[in-house]
């Protein structure tokens, strides 16, 4: 749709990166300006509602990137279990490096803004919901019972969110690799045995 809007894209790209690494409150407009090379006037021309508006679009951008990569990792697989394991191990690799910029989650923004910026909270909630739906659909396609697939999707979503947080804290993807190792236990049966 938007043909070429280089300045706007540059701002969003820079902002996404900074928000993910430093959070919403830890990232200033001035820093976004400096690192993107955009003058302040241009920023407020493209985003009249300032920081909050930038954050909303940044969340959407990150969400779409994550969903896209998840689809690539999971949709073509014929063995879901090892596909999920591979997916998680792929993410783990990003967390071994000092500066995690390639793959992040929206949990930080979500936690920061949940009680103060309702619109941002809603953006994050939508992102979680869409990720969850993608997982559930894939599991159902592979024969998991509908309700159990739903529960597993919620679980995997939470597992990834938590394990990325801990991997970030430890500066190592090992926590994620343990999670990958547990996946078979979780996906062993296609229903929850009437529980």
Give the whole-angstrom CA distance, residue 47 versus residue 127: 21
Q: Least distance to DNA from the beta carbon of 16, Å?
A: 15
Q: Please, what is the minimum distance in Å from the beta carbon of residue 64 to a second copy?
A: 18
Residue positions counted in the chain = 195
Q: Which of 135, 134, 130, 108 is nearest to 120 (CA)?
A: 108
Residue 56 phi, psi dihedral angles, 5° rounding: -60, -45
30 binds, among a second copy, DNA, none (CB under 5 to 8 A by kind): DNA
Ranges within 147-166 binding DNA (CB under 7 A): none
d(CA 89, CA 175): 10
As a whole number of Å, the CA-based R_g of the chain is: 18
38 binds, among DNA, a second copy, none (CB under 5 to 8 A by kind): DNA
> Which of 9, 13, 35, 52 touches DNA by CB under 7 A?
52
**DSSP secondary-structure letter at 194?**
T
- Indicate whether 194 belongs to the interface with DNA (CB under 7 A): no
Kindly tell me the sign of the dihedral angle through the C-alpha atoms of 176, 112, 25, 48: positive
**Location of structure tokens 């969110």:** 161
For residues 190 and 145, the answer to whether their CB atoms sit within 8 Å is yes
Total residues binding DNA (CB under 7 A): 20
Summarize as ranges the residues that interact with a second copy (CB under 8 A): 21-26, 99-100, 107-108, 110-112, 114-116, 121, 124-125, 128, 151-152, 154-155, 157-163, 165-166, 168-171, 175, 178-179, 181-182, 184-186, 188-189, 192, 195
- Residue 44 interacts, among DNA, a second copy, none and using kind-specific CB cut-offs from 5 to 8 Å, with DNA
Give me the residues that bind DNA (CB under 7 A), please: 5, 7, 27-31, 38-42, 44-46, 48-52
């Amino acid at each position: 749709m938007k043909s070429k809007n280089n300045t706007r894209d540059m701002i969003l790209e820079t902002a996404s990166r900074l928000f993910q690494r430093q959070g919403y409150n830890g990232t200033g407009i001035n820093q976004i300006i400096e690192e993107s090379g955009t003058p302040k006037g241009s920023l407020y021309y493209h985003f009249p509602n300032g920081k909050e508006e930038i954050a909303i679009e940044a969340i959407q951008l990150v969400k779409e990137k994550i969903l896209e990569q998840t689809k690539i990792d999971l949709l073509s697989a014929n063995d879901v279990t090892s596909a999920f394991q591979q997916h998680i191990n792929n993410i783990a690799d990003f967390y071994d490096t000092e500066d995690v910029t390639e793959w992040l989650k929206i949990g930080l923004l979500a936690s920061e803004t949940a009680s103060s910026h309702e619109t941002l909270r809603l953006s994050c909630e939508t992102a979680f919901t869409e990720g969850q739906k993608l997982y559930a659909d894939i599991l159902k396609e592979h024969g998991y019972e509908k309700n159990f697939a739903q529960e597993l999707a919620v679980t995997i979503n939470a597992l990834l969110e938590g394990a990325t947080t801990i991997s970030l804290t430890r500066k190592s993807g090992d926590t994620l690799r343990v999670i990958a190792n547990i996946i078979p236990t979780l996906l062993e049966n296609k229903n929850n045995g009437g529980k």
